[in-house]
Amino acid sequence: MAGNAAKSTSGKGAAGPLPLVSVNHISLVCRSVEDSMDFYENVLGFFPIKRPGSFNFDGAWFFSYGMGIHLLQSPNPEAMPKKQDINPMDTHMSFQCESMQVVESKLVEMNIKFIKRTVEEGGVYVDQLFFHDPDGFMIEICNCENLPVEFLGSACPLNCQFNASSTNAGALQQQQQQRSTSCAPVATMSHQMLRVP
């Protein structure tokens, strides 16, 4: 089975891409589940939710902003790499916010080290804040809704252009569903996403 999957990773077969709906959760391995629980609940505002009791390993589940965070206790926490430098080009998870100024002030109050970046594209400016969770996994906070989402080539058959803000999320989802029922290619998006600048 694994061999068959490995042979068809190009995604260009006649069957088209996988029929996905949305992001469900992201799993993160932690040195200390307790420290990470405190961070994701009290810094990022996630809510703890019930986790299956049949699991035979330590962890915790959280949910907010339409997605889940699953924390997994590392069996060998001392062997986990320790990141010190904040590199915007590193793998990270990004969240939009209502006020960059408020977020920056709260990070200062919480004594969380961060760096700031600004991206300019065609006169549109996107502000970014980057910082680490307790295990060095990077978090970005941005006002990325300022930058319109423009599909490339034939990825959007309706020649549409969306702004990735919550006000347009419903319209985007509705058009995705319409294209799905007509067998046209579907591009799914989430308000929170893994981003690479």
User: What positions carry a catalytic annotation?
Assistant: 140
CA angle 63, 176, 26 (to 5 degrees): 25
| Strand ranges across the sheet with 59-64 | 25-30, 67-73, 59-64, 47-49
CA atoms of 59 and 143, how far apart (whole Å): 31
Give the residue from 116, 107, 113 showing the smallest Cα distance to 44: 107
Report whether 60 contacts 53 (CB < 8 A). no
CA atoms of 127 and 104, how far apart (whole Å): 11
CA atoms of 1 and 12, how far apart (whole Å): 19
